[in-house]
Structure 1
């Protein structure tokens, strides 16, 4: 269910799939040594989104080593909790982020469903700002067959490069992969991001085959406007994926 770096839910355990069908995409050229973020799965974005801040792009959570705090199987579900705190960060990352914190990622996988819950807690004595997202890479047969409803008034189709932020979306997004349909629900996260690099940008990515852009789309639950978390305060965002027949 998890890779060793711990920052990412990857499709080792057929997350949310049925009959051996995978639901999450990971590039065949993706780094697996922790030197870079994994190109696929569900990288955790924290404490900033993209270049919207003074720190590293998309923050340090996706390139850090998380601890597996708990794992179990119960009621037909595989469950795990991963934890990251400032003490777990590499020295250069910790020096750039002076705020004590704790992140917990709760993962629950069922036959036709995936639930991710991200908790952020301020364990220090001063407030800090943060943004967060779950950069989910969905595996599809053909990106041009994808249709997405619920992020804007019109259905979103992908015919070329797309990198679009949708602010203040509703709590339910309809995702037609072209082969079947998924329902995506989110709480705590107020926004959504849809991304596919298209042919030109995909060819420029060292960790992606030129044609792999056709095989995925990212639909990310996100909290993009920086939130201030007071000492002792916490925030929780949830993302639920349910697979149904086409």
Structure 2
């Protein structure tokens, strides 16, 4: 029996860049630019945008796109010798015509498989052959799933080591009204204090100033509660032990050329990542990291999420 072709549309985006459009039957959608393998849009059945895209985002090489879901590989931040967050987010990816088998949502055919291989310049900066495959899947309930598979294809017998993050920018109504649950009592590295290690003390993470923390050994589920929109984002992850929480606030925002001065009020980055314990692959070995995002209605009682089993 022939398998059904995934339903996606190839279109031209900003500055003529190629993008993939995924559509789900209830008017939900997602968009992925081949530049960076970069998810720039994820909309619910009401057409509401769930990801934050910078008002000053630059859709032109070599600048990465600011907002959406940038891919940090083979290096997160400056944890190494490469450019900030590595090079995957400003390379041209290809649609993968013959991906290896990967289970997908059985009731959804709105997905696309992408692939990135190193260029000659990449090999000069990071001398390792690899195949980075990623499936972007828009599920039947509107959930967005990114599954990355990175394989060492070195022919010289050498292993390689990398760090990784899905640098997700969520769209929120007001950063001052948002709380993150699921990271309580965990250790974190504070990037604003030379990556000094601390333990989270609050019963939830709230925001009133610049925040840039790497939470370690985190659970597979994290919730982002948006009080004003009565919406909760649920982040589910596999193969990604860490979680970065970032908001630049006002002063830092003014130093970022491709971020609007007021954008920080309506964005929050909660990033599924592998940082503290870098991934090492021998030739022929493959690593898989999976991120699933969903948005569910929520209501509050005394500042707490009603028991909707979000984090159970």
Give the TM bin, normalised by the shorter chain. Answer: over 0.9
Alignment partner of 2:224 out of 133, 153, 175: 175
Q: Aligned partners of 1:92, 1:223: CA distance in 2, in Å?
A: 25
CA radius of gyration, larger in: 2
RMSD of the TM alignment (CA)? 1.9
For residue 44 of structure 2, what is the aligned residue in structure 1?
17
Q: Deviations over 1:61-87 (max 9, x none)?
A: 11111111259x97345201111011x
Q: Retained in 1: the 8 A contact 2:123–2:129?
A: no
Q: Retained in 2: the 8 A contact 1:16–1:241?
A: no
Residue ranges of structure 1 left out of the alignment (5+ in a row): none
For residue 45 of structure 1, what is the aligned residue in structure 2?
72
Q: Aligned partners of 1:63, 1:24: CA distance in 2, in Å?
A: 19
Per the alignment, in what secondary structure is the counterpart of residue 184 of structure 1? strand
For residue 80 of structure 1, what is the aligned residue in structure 2?
112
2:221 is equivalent to residue 194 of structure 1: no
Evaluate the alpha carbon distance shift between residue 24 and residue 77 of structure 1 in structure 2; reply closer, same or farther with a 3 A threshold. farther
Q: Aligned partners of 1:77, 1:239: CA distance in 2, in Å?
A: 18
For residue 53 of structure 2, what is the aligned residue in structure 1?
26
For residue 219 of structure 1, what is the aligned residue in structure 2?
270
2:292 is equivalent to residue 240 of structure 1: yes
Q: Aligned partners of 1:51, 1:148: CA distance in 2, in Å?
A: 25
Q: CA deviation at 1:16?
A: 5.2
Q: Aligned partners of 2:184, 2:162: CA distance in 1, in Å?
A: 25
Q: Retained in 1: the 8 A contact 2:36–2:64?
A: no
Q: Aligned partners of 1:104, 1:214: CA distance in 2, in Å?
A: 34
Residue ranges of structure 2 left out of the alignment (5+ in a row): 1-30, 100-104, 186-202, 299-312
- Number of equivalenced pairs: 240
Q: Aligned partners of 1:5, 1:46: CA distance in 2, in Å?
A: 14
Q: Aligned partners of 1:176, 1:67: CA distance in 2, in Å?
A: 35
Q: Aligned partners of 1:74, 1:226: CA distance in 2, in Å?
A: 32
User: Taking structure 1 as the reference length, what is the TM-score of the superposition?
Assistant: 0.92
Q: Aligned partners of 1:97, 1:2: CA distance in 2, in Å?
A: 26
